[in-house]
Amino acid sequence: MFILITGGNKSGKSAAAEKIAVSSGLPLYYIATMMPYGDDAHEAIERHRKMRSGKGFETIEKYTDVSEICFSDKPTVLLECIGNLCANEMFSANCKSASEKIFRDIKLLNRRTGLLIAVTSQAGEDGIVYDSGTTEYIKELGKLNARLAGIADCVIETVYGIPLILKGEKPHCL
C-alpha cells in the first residue's frame, strides 16, 4: 500500500504520517532526505528526530537514489520528504529529469514495503515569482506530486493539523 501525504508548511503532515506508520504493526523505517546544511536544516532534523523518538523507527539517511534501499522484510517505510528528495536529485550532477527518476525510484521502493508513506510539500502556491532555478524545481515537484497521487492508494492533505482524504480510504488510526 502506498499513502501520499501533502500539505503546507507546519500543517501536520509528519505527525499524520508517523501516526499511520506506528499503527501499522510492521517494522518501522524512516528515510530521511534532508541534507544537513545550515541552521534551519539542523533545526528541522532535530525536531523530526524528537517527534520519532521512542516510536521504534530505524532511520536511514538517503538523500538521492532511494530505490537502492533494500529491506529483508516488508516493513512500513516513512519517506520524508519528497520536496527535499526532488531538490537533491535536481541539483546533483548526474540527474536530467528529477521527477521521472524519483517516480521510478518510489515505484521500486514501494514494491519492497508492506506500507510506504511518502510526505511531500506544496511548493509554489504563494504567488511569488521566483528565479528560473526555483521555478524549475516547483515545476518538477508539481509534476512528481501529480504522478505520485495517481499511483497512490490513498492521498491525504493536512490542513491545520486536520487530515483530509483526497483519494482512497481514511486510515483507521486517523
Number of neighbouring beta carbons within 10 Å of residue 68 = 10
Which residue carries 491525504 as its cell?
Answer: 156
Report residue 67: phi and psi, to 5°.
Answer: -70, -10
Position 50 scores a pLDDT of 82
Question: Does the pLDDT of residue 153 top 90, yes or no?
Answer: yes
Question: What are the tens digits of pLDDT across the range 125-142?
Answer: 777 788 888 899 999 999
Strand pairing report for 154-159 and 162-167: antiparallel
Q: Which CATH superfamily hosts domain 2-167?
A: P-loop containing nucleotide triphosphate hydrolases (3.40.50.300)
The dihedral of CA 74, 80, 85, 88: what is its sign? Answer: negative
Report residue 124: phi and psi, to 5°.
Answer: 85, 10
Question: What are the tens digits of pLDDT across the range 10-52?
Answer: 899 999 999 999 999 999 999 999 887 778 877 877 877 787 7
Question: Does the pLDDT of residue 93 top 70, yes or no?
Answer: no
Could you tell me which residue, 156 or 97, shows the higher pLDDT?
Answer: 156
The span from the CA of 1 to the CA of 125, in Å, is: 29
Using a pLDDT cut of 70, give the percent of the chain over it: 98
Burial class of residue 53 (count of CB atoms within 10 Å of its CB; 0-12, 13-18, 19+): exposed
Position 34 scores a pLDDT of 85
Residue 47's identity, in one-letter code, is R
Question: Does the pLDDT of residue 157 top 90, yes or no?
Answer: yes
Question: Does the pLDDT of residue 94 top 80, yes or no?
Answer: no
